Structure 1
């Protein structure tokens, strides 16, 4: 009898597992970025809102290498949704912009929402003598993880100043966490990071090492915006980080929540309702959302078409979308 009960229990467990697999479309693995950035707490907070809603959709957040990794993982099905820079989403959707995307357009990418500006932070040790982007020539510079959105941004900004990675003393392709250590140990002179204002990685460096924020401005910024229309001008406010008392001009792209046509309309609609239905709860996740998110902004400058589940949600909010 005991053996029969055990066998029955095993069947029930297997049946439950099979049912869960059958309902796989109702589970979202959300790709984020480094744990020291803004993507990770935002994705974690969104997953919690989905799980707390109890509406038949479950979610979890995964720390990843960032935007380029995320769109590639969406293409393979390793991720169901992800936070991605809007420029990287567009390049992947069109099959252009990056060598790894050329001729490999992913027409299945779909936008769920535009979230907040991702601001380029160029952080330099004060003892490095770096005062402008041009001063990075010959220096040891953290340019972001290999395949990250930050790496692409660094390349484009340097280009606007007539520089390339080969002009740097060292182009250090490491994670933000590793970049912090290199800056603290005087093994790096400066660091690029495209991230929401207030990121813990930037705050940690500023708390432990005398640093300054390097501006991206003038004719070079104009050239950058003209060639790459995804960028907008953005001023990093004074006081955002220790030792940064003055406003520093820079540029920004937009963080977007992206999925694919493989996600069902019902799953995306329910996830959207859970994540964005209570705007106050969403904005409580992180200051980047609190200071920037709105329904109107969420559907502007879309790098790929809206997912039908997102269309349904935004139409219910009174927006004219398709």
Structure 2
């Protein structure tokens, strides 16, 4: 009974990074908002790990997003997490963001690059916003405090010569709260870095007449030059209700990461449980359906591959360092 009590405490309180009891390794996977893509993907991965019955048990936890996840891995609150590759890089190097400045987490390791995370800038049609420059003086949802979206919003606005102080109101709220603010006309536009097809964007488009704001031209070029993690990405026409044309934007990459505190064996078993079948991974979410592949999973790494992941990919015939 004492062992069971300790296990329950570890799962409920998150006070241990990897709990070992009765031969079972417990993993907590950080995700993001329940209305985004991270949460259903992490939940699906946890189920695959649990169903594999290979001495691992996992649970997915909704969090504030990428920056929080990196801090929680550093503190041992999370064992693994999904995060934007740029945020992972900054956390690994101890630069780029004040949250990581001088606090390089050299124990961060990549498990796999998953899919492009596309910047969606969604505006109410009645706001008159048609370009990023039009956001000046407007009420704009810039993402939860400490989220990857907040970082992306800052960098994109910078490319257009704007800062958060130039907005009428910079609203730091979760995507779910952002939906409500857009619906209630208390926000004019919303930034969200997320896979195409995210329920939060679909929900807004279903309930509000919206316009997708492009990120393109010289501003996009300067953004890519300064921040090489970004790539150009077109949001396909009809991805959301009322969006009839292709919208040029930019994207980073959603990446699954862990710490060296998670053993090589545990990571290897995790990789086998989740990634043994490419088709099963693609079936977790539409964002993965046309984007995930073994060869892509080891490109653009923000931190070195975990040894457990190296072993897995080599067994799959993938060339890794």
Q: Give the TM-score taking structure 1 as reference length.
A: 0.94
Measured in 2, the distance between the counterparts of 1:218 and 1:281 equals 37
Checking the alignment, whether the CA contact within 8 Å between 2:123 and 2:212 is kept in structure 1 is yes
Measured in 2, the distance between the counterparts of 1:240 and 1:312 equals 37
Measured in 1, the distance between the counterparts of 2:125 and 2:320 equals 48
Secondary structure in structure 2 of the residue aligned to 1:311: helix
Checking the alignment, whether the CA contact within 8 Å between 2:33 and 2:65 is kept in structure 1 is yes
Q: What is the aligned partner in structure 1 of residue 168 from structure 2?
A: 169
Measured in 1, the distance between the counterparts of 2:34 and 2:6 equals 32
Measured in 2, the distance between the counterparts of 1:224 and 1:25 equals 46
Secondary structure in structure 2 of the residue aligned to 1:238: coil
CA-atom RMSD in angstroms = 1.2
Q: What is the aligned partner in structure 2 of residue 73 from structure 1?
A: 72
Q: What is the aligned partner in structure 1 of residue 237 from structure 2?
A: 238
- Higher-Rg member (1/2): 1
Measured in 1, the distance between the counterparts of 2:64 and 2:259 equals 19
Measured in 2, the distance between the counterparts of 1:167 and 1:302 equals 34
Secondary structure in structure 2 of the residue aligned to 1:156: helix
Checking the alignment, whether the CA contact within 8 Å between 1:90 and 1:303 is kept in structure 2 is yes
Measured in 2, the distance between the counterparts of 1:101 and 1:202 equals 29
Q: Quick check: which one's helix share is greater? A: 1
Measured in 1, the distance between the counterparts of 2:182 and 2:133 equals 19
Checking the alignment, whether the CA contact within 8 Å between 2:24 and 2:57 is kept in structure 1 is no
Give the ranges of 4+ consecutive aligned residues of structure 1 lying more than 2 Å apart after TM superposition: 15-25
1:153 equivalent to 2:152? Answer yes
Checking the alignment, whether the CA contact within 8 Å between 2:29 and 2:59 is kept in structure 1 is yes
1:64 equivalent to 2:52? Answer no
1:22 pairs, out of 20, 25, 47, with 20
Shift of 1:19: 8.1
Checking the alignment, whether the CA contact within 8 Å between 1:25 and 1:263 is kept in structure 2 is no
Q: How many residues align?
A: 310
Measured in 2, the distance between the counterparts of 1:16 and 1:204 equals 41
Change over 3 Å in CA distance of 1:18–1:174 after alignment to 2 = closer
Measured in 2, the distance between the counterparts of 1:137 and 1:236 equals 24
Measured in 2, the distance between the counterparts of 1:151 and 1:229 equals 18
Q: Give the TM-score taking structure 2 as reference length.
A: 0.95
Q: What is the aligned partner in structure 1 of residue 291 from structure 2?
A: 292
Checking the alignment, whether the CA contact within 8 Å between 2:182 and 2:204 is kept in structure 1 is yes
Deviations 1:7-44 (A, max 9, x none): xxxxxx22455689434982110000000000000000
Shift of 1:319: 1.1
Deviations 1:200-229 (A, max 9, x none): 000000000000100000000000000000
